[in-house]
Every structure is written in structure tokens, then in C-alpha cells.
Structure 1
């Protein structure tokens, strides 16, 4: 009996498969040759009886530097003037690491402010409730 099982792998809407294998198989997808952005991997497998199964896997390629934006979110409605900070991070091995300017500035989260205010409030409550001059007499 002839084994005509085959796996074809397509990238995006390309009509020609970029690789064909007999199952089971392993291969390495080299994303350095794929442009950055959203893509779809379409896998078509044919069984020995000739039936085909299709599976699509959406994925995103980001070989370029990572880009961080502070001040504007996806789909946000804005008006007037909006301050925006943009920073990018590369992963090349020849980069020289600089401390200054290498991190994206972000505001302090609200939960940190809540903890600080709670701590200061408790300290003031404790000071007011238990402050009595007789406990603080001088030895001199």
C-alpha cells in the first residue's frame, strides 16, 4: 500500500506551499525572512486515504526593535494636545547599553500612591492617639 500522507505549510495567502513534508516532521520557521506584522500559517495535511485537514495559526512577527508608546492607547479617543513618549528597544548583540534614556518613563501606579497615603495616614493616627508628654520625659 502506498503512503501518500503529506503536510503542506502555507504562509499568509500564498498559493504555493513554502514547505512540504511527510508526517511526522519537525522544522524551524525562520522569521528573519518574514516582514514584521501579523501573519497566518496555514497547514494542510492529507491522510493516506486522501482526506485533507486544514489548520490555520495566526501569529505576529516582531524582528525589529520593540516600540513602547506612553500617552496614547489603541483605539483611544483624544482631543486637544496629547503628550506622547516613544521609545524603542533593539535586541542586536552589537548594542551598547546606556543607563540614561534606555527605559520608558511611566507614571507611578495608583496602588503605590494608595499604599503611601495609607501608611502616612496610619502613622499620623498612631502619633495623635498615643502621643502623651509623660512618655517622653527627658533624663536630663
Structure 2
């Protein structure tokens, strides 16, 4: 360690083995693909040339696995009977190549949109029937 530079030691969660030991200032790339999906804590311990120590903890969530989308039930829902569910899981895939198949979650048409289309169609038919210009 250089005598006039601080040392930074990086830990993930409660692991006793450091992820890296670096001399400040430095840029570091944390590869989250080596971590399980879920909540983690990045712990940074700094040691100054005079022997003093500092600590900082940063909570973060890793979500590298396939994303899961579900339609038909929500968190803490009260349900009864048979429930139709639409479930999709998709991955980011190769970051250098865009793959469209499976990357979008299909969704059903919202009920309010269907009702709006029916009301608009009914109004259009009513207008055509009752409009004086259409009567001959």
C-alpha cells in the first residue's frame, strides 16, 4: 500500500472473504452475476494511512434472473374459486443481440377499454340513425 493513499476493502453481505482490496481512488466493476437474486449489502471499509478506519454499508437488490410477470392476481389479494392467471418469464438474454421473442409480456385488454369501445360504437350508430342529414 502506498504510504499516502487509503485502502478500501469491499465485502458482500456477511462474508468474511473480501470481494476486493483496492487503493483509493479507484473505479471498480461489481459483477452481480455471481450473486443470487435478492437483497444484499455492500460493505466498504476504508483504512487511512494514519490507521483510522471508516465503514459504509449500501443495501441493494440483485435481479439477474428471468423477470416474472403475472396478471390475474395481486399481492395480498382475497380470492375465491378458479382464477385465470397469465404468467410470463423472460430473460435479458445476450446484451449484444436483441431478441424480441419472449421479451414482452402479453396482457389482456382492460375491461374499461372494451366498455369504452362499445359505448362509442353505440353512440355512432345512434348518431347515424337520428342525424337529419342521413334521412332522405
TM-score calculated relative to the size of structure 1: 0.67
Query: Structure 2: any 5+ residue segments left out of the alignment?
Result: none
Deviation at 1:70, TM superposition (A): 1.6
Alpha-carbon distance change, 126 to 61 in structure 1, aligned in 2, over 3 angstroms: same
Query: Structure 1: any 5+ residue segments left out of the alignment?
Result: none
Alpha-carbon distance change, 31 to 122 in structure 1, aligned in 2, over 3 angstroms: same
In 2, the alpha carbon distance for the partners of 1:105 and 1:50 equals 58
TM-score calculated relative to the size of structure 2: 0.69
Alpha-carbon distance change, 50 to 117 in structure 1, aligned in 2, over 3 angstroms: farther
Give the corresponding residue for 2:132.
Answer: 132
Alpha-carbon distance change, 75 to 41 in structure 1, aligned in 2, over 3 angstroms: farther
Looking at CA atoms only, which structure, 1 or 2, has the larger radius of gyration?
A: 1
Structure 2 residue 30 is matched with structure 1 residue 40? no
Give the corresponding residue for 1:61.
Answer: 62
Give the corresponding residue for 1:11.
Answer: 12
Number of equivalences: 132
Runs of 4+ in 1 over 6 A off after TM superposition: none
